[in-house]
Amino acid sequence: MSGTLAAVPLPVVVLAGLVALLVVAVLVRQVITLRASLERADRAAAAERVRAEQERSSAEDLRSRLLRALDAIPQGVLIADTAGTVVFRNRVAETFADARHSDALVEAAVGELLTEVLAGMPADRTIDLFGPPRRTLVITTVALDDGALVVIDDISERRRLDATRRDFVANISHELKTPVGAMGLLAETLTMEDDPVVARRLAERIVNEAFRMDRTIEDLLVLSRIESEEAPEREPVVASLAIAEAVERIRPGAEQAGIDIEVADPDPLLVVFGDRRQIVSALYNLLDNAVKYSDAGAIIEVRARRDGTRLAIAVQDHGFGIPKGDLERVFERFYRVDQARSRSTGGTGLGLAIVRHVATNHAGEVTVESRLGEGSTFTLVLPSDALADADTSAGPLTVAVGAPARNGDTP
């Protein structure tokens, strides 16, 4: 073997060695390049995995956020695939699934509407459920690329508000039409009347009707102002002064009716936080009713007392009382137990609605206890605190005994 190598000339051996080295170098370089590109590919794959994971988790986040949002809305939402199979229901829609009784009607209607919308005929349906509670639902369908969407909306509250508004407009029209009609007739008769005594009586009745209409409009304005002031200004109002102001206003009318008002020594430190005008207006309306629905010679008592953190002002009369069946309804606008008596006493049917709104605006309440023929006690309960706790640093309390106003609203 050495003999054979020895026969090869040295330059050839060196050249062969160099070629071999070159080949090895090229191979090593290729291996290094290959390893580098393999590592790059590994890194790219890892980065791709991280990106895909991030995308998946943000899609998951979005999905769960959407699901939570769909569960939070008050409407029922269902999604169905092209075969009509429901693939998603939110929380509200869930309540109709497997429902019994009247709610089952909703599920049946959803099934029918899905069939229609998937056949290319999107439709809506309104369903009345007789409850209880009585409800009106509107079911709407929308065609999607790969199925359909169904929305179930409970419109009971909207319906109720619409009905209340319609009733209110009808009631106001009636309340105003009656005196206007009477005035027209009286005025017509007056134009043909020669007897001055009769003419005078007719004129007086026209004036009375005009006053009645004026009172109704005034009360409506007070009510609408109080309704729009849902969060009235809160100031410390000394209960005894607010009571005194309301009593002063009613006093001339009470004296004329031969009725005495007794105010049980109210604690001068009892303070209620609220809107003075509204509170006095509410007390005036309670006193006005107590006078109107009592006989001459009767006594009305007013008491204020602390009830935990609240103040209770009770107006008690010993008048006609209210039948049990009417107690719930006397706070409704224009509700009168006895139409004729309310009209003859000049009632507008709005006094207690005003009181109730004042109570609601102050996060309080008004309650009534009554016995037919024995009398009634209306109690206005308002959030209160002792004067000592009140912040009087801003100056003197803004409670004033104002001049009498006709409609019970304060100046």
Distance in Å, CB of 291 to ligand ADP, minimum:
9
Distance in Å, CB of 336 to ligand ADP, minimum:
3
Count of residues that bind ligand ADP according to CB under 6 A = 24
Spatial CB neighbours of 321, under 8 Å, sequence gap ≥ 6:
370, 371, 372, 373, 374, 375, 376
Distance in Å, CB of 404 to ligand ADP, minimum:
18
Nearer to ligand ADP, 67 or 221 (CB): 221
Whether the CB-CB separation of 313 and 302 falls below 8 Å is answered with yes
Task: Tell whether the torsion through CA atoms of 308, 314, 320 and 322 is positive or negative.
Answer: negative
* Options 100-108, 141-149, 249-257, 350-358: segment touching ligand ADP (CB under 6 A): 350-358
Distance in Å, CB of 405 to ligand ADP, minimum:
16
- Ranges within 262-321 binding ligand ADP (CB under 6 A): 285, 289-290, 292-293, 317, 319-321
- Ranges within 174-233 binding ligand ADP (CB under 6 A): none
* Options 18-26, 54-62, 333-341, 396-404: segment touching ligand ADP (CB under 6 A): 333-341
Distance in Å, CB of 294 to ligand ADP, minimum:
7
Nearer to ligand ADP, 349 or 364 (CB): 349
- Ranges within 361-390 binding ligand ADP (CB under 6 A): 376
Backbone angle region of 249, left / alpha / beta, with phi > 0 → left and psi within -120 to 50 → alpha: alpha
Q: Per CB under 6 A, does 350 bind ligand ADP?
A: yes
Spatial CB neighbours of 304, under 8 Å, sequence gap ≥ 6:
239, 240, 243, 264, 266, 267, 270, 311, 312, 313, 314
Nearer to ligand ADP, 292 or 362 (CB): 292
User: In Å, how far are 25, 27, 374 from 14, measured between CA atoms?
Assistant: 16, 20, 136
User: In Å, how far are 36, 52, 54, 397 from 42, measured between CA atoms?
Assistant: 10, 15, 18, 80
Nearer to ligand ADP, 285 or 379 (CB): 285
Nearer to ligand ADP, 88 or 335 (CB): 335
Nearer to ligand ADP, 203 or 327 (CB): 327
278's tokens: 């509204």
Nearer to ligand ADP, 141 or 377 (CB): 377
Nearer to ligand ADP, 113 or 286 (CB): 286
Residues near ligand ADP (CB under 6 A) are 285, 289-290, 292-293, 317, 319-322, 330, 335-338, 342, 347-353, 376
